[in-house]
Amino acid sequence: MGFSVSNHRFFVLLFITFTNIWIASAFTGTYGVNYGRIADNIPAPESVVTLMKAAKIKNTRIYDADHEVLKAFKGSGIEIIIGLGNEFLKEISVSQDRAMDWVKQNVEPFVPGTRIRGIAVGNEVLGGADQELWEVLLPAVKNIHTALDLLHLADDVEVSSPHSAGVFASSFPPSAGAFKESLMPYMKPLLEFFSRIKSPFYINTYPFLAYISDPEHIDINYATFKKNPGIYDEKTKLHYDNMFEAQIDAAYAALEKAGFSKTEVIVSETGWASRGDPNEVGATVSNARTYNLNLRKRLLKKKGTPYRPKMVVKAYVFAMFNENLKPGPTSERNFGLFKADGSIAYDIGFTGLVPSSATSLLSFKGNGLMYAVCAAALVLMSL
């Protein structure tokens, strides 16, 4: 059968259309890992990239725009969301030039080799203690997006801002999910802008924190995806057998009440600590393994929640490593899937650097030999 010019044009247009659809998404698959670096003993970025590639981790988030990290991810194929810290929000909110400088310094030189797919502007701002930041968040978001647009990067790099559970006035049962009234003058315009540029709603969701706050009344099995009676939402007539999905649907309910029923929810952080203080009764290796193993299995199913069954759940696990310099309770320093030397903290299907030789392997920082030796020491696990 002949192949006409019109057919050729059709397929070119079809390719471009699907390419644009692919470019618009900042998340490949359903599983990602946060790469926190508040530590002085974790592997070099090159080794971290090797670990992620071996584990088939396709998505990651960092909390800044460290150039050595961005260089290490060049050519890896891993999609990365970088962070613009809260400390920059005020100056960027009042200066388009400053926003442009930030993007020119921290994004433009690294793409497309490093697959920067998004910028998280601020972290857990709304509902936080600094109310001045509430006011400057949206102007900062807009200035960063404008800078990306002027540099012709807005189609490739998503702009977002992750929230904590502190934005909710209520979240149980899921249908009762609602934003705090005090935040609505800031939340609604932010959601309107994100709706216009087609950005999702990112939420940090921690069944661990809910459980340790009330272990007498919350079933540990419900919190860790194990078999349990679950809960029943009378309003929606929906049953929930795990807290993770219930928390996501509480976010969907809140968005719906605010007028944004079509906005997608993506979990920007979730995880379980493997060690904690005496009052953090659920922080154990066993519970951390159970939660993260079952979470991974849940995400691999690529399905939605009871309230949004067609909206596939996507989540970034917190975190890649235990971070020994994080302040706060002991749990804060023990969320890692991997220990400082690159070995696994517990088994959920990943294999890290061989513990006995981790030190010598990591000493080859940036050396090509390190990649070869590390790769040989890793077991490839397909996600």
Active-site annotation holds for 124? yes
Eight-class DSSP state of 356: G
Active-site annotation holds for 264? no
The residue assigned the tokens 């442009």 is: 100
β pairing state of 265-270 and 201-204: parallel
Q: Give the active site residue among 46, 158, 269, 280.
A: 269
State the amino acid at position 223 in one-letter form.
A
Eight-class DSSP state of 40: S
- Residue 54 token pair: 């071996």
Gap between the Cα atoms of 104 and 102, Å rounded = 5
Q: Give the active site residue among 124, 158, 280, 323.
A: 124
Half-sphere exposure in the Cβ direction for 356 (13 Å, CA) = 1
Gap between the Cα atoms of 108 and 147, Å rounded = 10
**Nearest C-alpha neighbor of 174 from the set 224, 126, 244:** 244
Contacts of 202 (CB under 8 A, 6+ apart): 120, 160, 161, 162, 163, 265, 266, 267, 268
Gap between the Cα atoms of 165 and 185, Å rounded = 18
Ramachandran class of 41: left when φ > 0, alpha when ψ lies in -120 to 50, beta otherwise: alpha
Query: What residues act catalytically?
Result: 124, 269
